[in-house]
Structure 1
Amino acid sequence: MTNWTLAARAHKMNPSVIREILKVTEKPGIISFAGGLPSPKTFPVDAMLEATQRVLTQDGRSALQYAASEGYGPLRDWVAHDLKKQGMDVHADQVLITTGSQQGLDLVAKILIDAGSRILVETPTYLGALQAFTPMEPDVVSVDSDDSGVLADDLRAKAGQGAARARFIYLLPNFQNPTGRTMTEARRAAVAAAALATGVPVIEDNPYGDLWFDTAPPPSLSSRNPEGSVYLGSFSKILAPGLRLGYLVAPHALYPKLLQAKQAADLHTPSFNQRLVAEVLKDGFIERHVPTIRALYKQQCEAMLAALDREMAGLDFQFNRPAGGMFLWARLPEGVDAVGLLPKAVDRGVAFVPGAAFYADHGDPRTLRLSFVTASVDQINHGIAALAQAIRDYRT
């Protein structure tokens, strides 16, 4: 009989609450506001098909071969140039192509976290980041946050000093997952100043920044202190998540260790996928394509907000009004627990994600996340009505 002995870090790994909930949404007839999935309507299938033909015809053997761990040169060049709109002055040799931005979080965790070291996160924060960080056994400290993002004074208070100084603070300034909030320009200035004053590096995750509805968000946090920041980006939300293509930008002092961690993880991100995306992007396609995503998501967000205004009247159901992205954040009436509500909602044909899983500690059981991007307007209207009825059922 073989006895497997798991590493201590393996016991720290937990299944994704969202992935488990998605299994429920596969039942016929369920309207899902649960997943963080981009709308398949936005996937540029025709452009991908044409680019695939060109890549295979022009340089197919190279596209199907092993490649440099840093990533495909023309794609790294594109990223460096594109980040100018974030106010960043980036060179291609700072860009590391990753297998989704989730891998970027994993690489950061591997090279920056020791067991017991302090890291700072927003309240609440992205569940996938907590999954990436937790196996490294950090002391995860939540920084108080409001509708404008983390509070700079609390960052200073929790930064620590000397050997106990936080290894980094992890932030999603634009249309944050899960809350949909965006950090204001004034708050970015205050947070960047606090991070610089305390010596705490910033890990800036920006998968949703291009998905604004009417006004682009302020310049990136990384533009304020490039030597003290790692910036993570993704092609999943603006092209297709199935490509698993993301990138990180790091200062030269940190880049070699991130590259070594990348080499140990998977040698390189699939070279064919990189060449395919570079081919799609090279003629300004993204400037034509992303506005169509914004228009669709804005319409769906407005439909959900209108439905919530209508259906939740009198229920003390609180929710925010995001200016972009894929999610909005809500708080249930007093005495209603989101985990307890979920089965009742599913019985009525609608699903959501309970919010407590997004907190590093002391999760608020009354919170929940709603995604508006994969449901039609008709489904949104029916789903929000069903959710309101489930809340009434719970209270009776």
Structure 2
Amino acid sequence: MSSSIAAASSIGVKANALTRVSKRAINSKPAVVCSASSKSDDVAVGSSQDAVTRRQALAAGAAVTATLGASTPALAGLLDGALDGALTLGGGDVKEKRAVNLPELQIEFISREEGYPLANGGEKGRAQQQYLKFIEPVIVANIDLPYSEYMRLALHDAGTYEVVGKKNGANGSIRFELDRPENALCKKAFASIEKIKKAVDATVTQPISYADLIAIVPHFAARIQFAKDYYEVMGEDDPNYEFLFIGTNPYLGAKMRIGRKDADGPDPEGLVPGEDASTEDLVAWFKRMGLGPNQLVMFAPYMYENPAKGLDLAVQDGTNASVANQYESQRKLGKRAPGPAVTIIKKLKDMTDNCIPGGPPYVGGDRDPNYVEYAYIRGGGEIPRVTTFGAYPGSSDLGSSKFAQKVRGDR
């Protein structure tokens, strides 16, 4: 018995000595580190290396304590508590500590009337883009016509625009004008838009306007066709589509805008030329909308059921003919080239972004835009403030503080 006590005392003295050495190594200025020799497995001690950190020294002490406990059964029980403490020197889970120390994140939705004066235009624009990205899969899943059909519908809806006075235009009024002879070819596309709108409205908290759907669906429908044409030539495993066709991406090159308001009745008659239109009629039409030969020649193949009819009418004007030649040189590059696709998307944007009643809204120009919800947020590391979310279920979780989301374990 006395011999085991003596052994324990001896080991205790050695442990205390090791502890004092560890402390001295930490507090002394000369740095002591272990470095592996390239010639042998021996460990060399050098004073010119970085200092041992406190955590490394404590971890080494814990390892010594564990070795002593394993080699001396008499001390195993005494060292259990010390060993448990030594193995949790990391300070526990930082996320758990933050969760305890931070107040709970609270999101209180407020009315649009209360919220919109307190949020800036950039926040509102981001909320609208959240909304657009949320509905994109719904739109794409319900597109069932060639993009030329949607292009024609968009042209006829925006085609009533008058740049002088900034009247009429891309406002969804086409739904009241389908009985007019010039809009007869738009019925099929509008029926598809109706189906897409029902699908979108079933998934969001604020219904999308007809004007917005008519303006943005051609973007997605065109990209479907661009990708199909590209992969037919380059193969399904070609990785370069997005890189080459970035100018057609609605969130990058194309930068689609939403927030157009719906008209509650038809626009005046006689503003959109019909089947018997002349070249002069088409030129005057686009001029009245504030557009020119670039937009006219791009839209010409989509004006009538026979694509050649519109293009033949357009090129009878000399300026239009030179623009058409430029476009044709782009097409000669082949289906794998982005030139024609980028031109189509850019000119579509020129029309749908500018031919809006009252003119194109700038960022923040509409104090209370569509598809934006507001909330008061506080706690979770956030400074109390009014913030914006896209108008669809669950968007408040995506829009809250990233730091608070990490604390809650959402990210």
**Bucket of the pairwise TM-score, normalised by the shorter protein:** under 0.3
Name the larger-Rg structure: 2
Between Structure 1 and Structure 2, the one with more helix by share is: 2
Higher strand share: 1
